[in-house]
Amino acid sequence: MSKIRILLITGSSGGHICPALGLLDILNKECHDLDMLLVVPSPERTGRPISFKDGPRPERAGLPVPLKEGPRLSALNKKKHSGYNIRYISLSGVKLDAGFNLPLCLFKIFLGTLESIWILLGFRPNLVIGFGSLASVPMLLSARTLGIKTMIHEQNVIPGKANMFLARFSDRIAVSFPQTRDYFRGFTKKVVVTGNPLRQDLVRMDKEKALAFFGFSTAKITLLVAGGSQGSRKINTVFPEAIKGLNNHDKIQVIHLCGIHDYELLNERYKDLRINVRLFGFLEEMQYAYNAADLILCRGGATTLAEIIYFGIPALIIPYPYARAHQAKNAEVLKQLGAAVVIDDDKLSEDTLRPVLETFLKDPKERSSMLVSFQNFLRVDAARVFMHEVLSCLG
């Protein structure tokens, strides 16, 4: 009997790739009769090598990289990466509102469609799951045309344009937030709330063990600053200035994930602050940071918020302003719950950030209130729920 085959197609950002990896992790762990293929966009045209200088490195989104190939990967060359097959299609950076670049974008879509059909005919999946972005559209439509079952997953509260378009062509629509149902009117019978699948290495652990990983004290409050895989210049600039003027800065210790571009700048700034800081351009072992944190300062990406919810960390969220209000709407869910404070990006300054930090540090009731809020939040094992929906769709 041949194995059941599942194809997952994602965009190139960590927000798309991470939930796909979370689903792959649990399917790989729990289901041994599946053959799975992950398809992601490559920054280059078919057959040409991918150079990391062309954009964010795949491993920064959690995508495994073959060590033998060094800094380059071969497009559309089927290889094993941590047990998963990965293929690449020529649909990175494609935008239909690209102005003078529209002809090139349309050509890439045409090329990506041909590649999608070729991959589908070669792999012959029983189910295709799309995780958003324009890159998933040709694959899902081609699968539908070939009579293959399809499913999409929406990470944000407000669905992206690609998933809104694909809703009518999908057999099932998995969403991370219950509020997203309101945006899929006319397709509500297809919608299931699964949550946002997390990678299996993100596990809860004893807080003392997590603090020991960083050489931190159990007597201080730990602040985690994370501006995304590439860091946030504004957060990186404002945060050190805000804590410089704190009245009780001796009570804190900081884990700061700043991205590779601001590392040297922040390394110099922190030398003058006399605060115990662990500065990282990128941290692979995020489970230690989440378990150690008493408060996280971050953007409002869907994957980040799913991780915050899973670990139950009080949050100070500064939504990224250039994402069709996706992040602001995501953050609003935690704000209404009482588990987060939200500051708009254009209002973020040391003068607006410092009072919020002061209140959190000096008021134990504020911290405990935010922690209690998470007890009322539906904290499901999203990967496992999603897995059951996938198996149900196959059945």
Q: Tens of pLDDT along 272-288?
A: 888 899 999 888 899 99
Q: In which region does residue 229 sit, left (phi positive, over 0), alpha (psi from -120 to 50) or beta (all else)? A: alpha
Global pTM value: 0.83
**pLDDT number for residue 385:** 93
Comparison of pLDDT for 19 and 106, the residue scoring more = 19
**pLDDT number for residue 323:** 67
**pLDDT number for residue 322:** 79
| 60-115 pLDDT per residue, tens | 334 433 322 222 222 223 333 455 789 988 876 666 555 557 777 777 788 888 99
Residue 48 has pLDDT above 80, yes or no: no
Least confident of 70-74, 260-264, 313-317, 390-394: 70-74
Start-end of H helices in the chain? 14-30, 102-123, 136-145, 161-166, 207-214, 233-244, 263-271, 286-292, 302-311, 326-337, 350-362, 364-375, 382-394
**pLDDT number for residue 58:** 37
**pLDDT number for residue 84:** 78
| Confidence label for 369 from pLDDT (cuts 50, 70 and 90) | confident
Average pLDDT over residues 295-313: 92
Edge-to-edge strand ranges of the sheet holding 149-154: 79-81, 84-89, 34-41, 4-9, 127-130, 149-154, 172-175, 191-193
Average pLDDT over residues 376-380: 64
Which residues are within 8 A (CB) of 61 and not within 5 positions of it... i.e. 6 or more apart? 12, 13, 14, 17, 18, 229
| Confidence label for 230 from pLDDT (cuts 50, 70 and 90) | low
